[in-house]
Every structure is written in C-alpha cells, then in structure tokens.
Amino acid sequence: MRIESITSAQNPKIQTLLALQEKSKERRKKGLFVVEGRRELLHCIEAGYEPYTIFICREIISDEDLTGIAEKCSCSFIEIPRHLYDKVAYRGGTEGVIAELKCKERTLEGLKLKENPLIVVLESVEKPGNLGAILRSADASGADAVIVCDPLTDLYNPNLIRSSIGGIFTVPTATATSEETINWLKTQNIRIYTAQLQDSEWYYDTDMTGGTAIIMGTEATGLTDIWRKAADAHIKIPMLGKLDSLNVSVSAAILLFEAVKQRNKK
C-alpha cells in the first residue's frame, strides 16, 4: 500500500473532494461520490462499488482498520493531518477515513428480485434525511428494493448516505419515472398499494404476503394521480390525534413491518 501525503487545504485533490461533497453537478461530471467512515465504506465495497481515492488521518484511524480497508482496495491512499481532516469531514466520529468512489447506474433492470418481493416506492421525495431513514427501515425489514421515482435528491448526496448509515448500499435501490415504475411493477405481477387518506382501507386489513409495492408520496402534496389510478388498493394508517399525517419515513416503517408480521405468520 503506497500512501501519499497532503497537508494543504489548497491542494487540488482536497478541492475536488470538497466539491464532490457539496455539489451534485460535480458528482455527475466526475462520476464520483464521497463516503465517510469505515462502516459505510465497507458497505460500499461489499455492494460492488470501486474506491477511487481514500483519504486517511493517522491520528484517528487505527492500524487494524487501515489494514482491513487496504486489503479490500487497490486504489490510492492519501494521508492528511487532523486539522485538514476536520476541515473536509462532514461529521465527527468517522474513524479517520473518507473515500471517493465510482458511481454506479441504478436502474430497474438492475434489480434482482426473489419470489413475492417487498418493495418501497417513493415519489419525488426531496429530503435526504427522510430517504435515508426509509432506507434504514427497508434494510431492517429485509425489503428487496427501494425505487425512487422522479427523484428530487441525488442518491449520492452525503446527507442521504449519512442518514441511511450505509443503507443506500445495503438495499438495492433504483431510480426511474413513475410511469416506468408502474409498468415494471405490473410486468412483475407486484401489487401496488398507495399510502393515502382518500378512499382507503386500514393497512393491517390489506394482504401484503404476495409481491407488494408500498407507494409513498411527499408529506406536502401526497401522491400524484398516476399512482392513485394505478393502485390495486389504497391503504391508510389510523390517525387518532388532531394531526392528519405522519413523517413519511415513520409511515414507511409502519407499513414495512406490517408486511414482515404478515409474512412471518404465513
């Protein structure tokens, strides 16, 4: 393992790293994204992502962790001092490692499904934190895929990666238009259940033991008509207080684990 050393924040490689963290345009242009932390990096590698450059801080990372990462990578390593690491790191507690990795195309065709899959579909969800939380729930519930339709946030947004704690790499995730996704789901014989208040039945009265796609919209506007019309059923969660909606990530978790409960009883 050959390690280069950089000490200046003005170094072009540091400037590129910062630009990749801050600008989706730069990520698209270079085909790279940034991940912080040993756990998240290992999730990336296990999911088949190829590291391009790995920045390490010897004052933070343990020799054991560095050796474990180096054994899985053939990319270049760059050592930076603590003061520079603190400048480029988005958050503390990232174990002294920040990596640039090559982006992968995420398409419906790339999803490999088992029998009776459980899928979450998100229409135009724009908050990285919400999407990250849904990915964590999808991972915890063993969901087969998350599909983001007409995305308003970059799947390689650092805030999304951070809030998902690597779930964006552990759960197969694709992007597509709503129309493409509807056609794909129907071709796969997967039932479409839209989460909405209007003309709906209780979620626990809906059979989720077969191939199931749970469709979630934005908290502000809900789902568009294309999904309402394509649905096999409309489902809702009881709201016993004075408010009429839950955070979309909380709703997704409730519906996912209802599917898990039903399938475990089957």
Predicted confidence (pLDDT) per residue in 235-250, tens digit: 999 989 988 778 899 9
Which H or E run contains 187? Answer: helix 178-187
Domains: count for the chain: 2
Domain limit, last residue, from 72, 102, 132: 102
In whole angstroms, what is the distance from residue 184 CA to residue 215 CA?
Answer: 14
Helix/strand/coil percentages in the chain, nearest 5:
40, 20, 40
Nearest to 171 by CA among 215, 124, 110: 110
- Residues composing the chain: 266
Residue where a domain terminates, one of 75, 102, 129: 102
The answer to whether the pTM exceeds 0.85 is: yes
The answer on 249 and 181 residing in a single domain is: yes
Secondary structure class of 213 (helix, strand, coil): strand
Whether the CB-CB separation of 163 and 132 falls below 8 Å is answered with yes
Last residue of a domain, one of 69, 102, 135: 102
Q: What are the pLDDT digits (tens) for 27-86?
A: 999 999 999 988 889 989 998 999 999 999 999 999 999 999 999 988 999 999 999 999
Specify which residues 56 forms β-bridges with. Answer: 79, 97
CATH at 237? 3.40.1280.10
168 shares a domain with 50 = no
Give the Cα separation of 204 and 213 in Å (integer): 15
Q: Does 226 score more than 80 pLDDT?
A: yes
212 Rama class: left (phi>0) / alpha (psi -120 to 50) / beta: beta
Q: Which domain holds residue 241?
A: 108-265
Q: Give all strands (DSSP E) within 92-211, no chain letters.
A: 97-102, 118-123, 145-149, 173-176, 191-195, 201-202
What span, in angstroms and rounded, lies between the C-alpha atoms of 170 and 39?
11
Same structural domain, 246 and 218: yes
Check residue 49 and give its pLDDT: 92
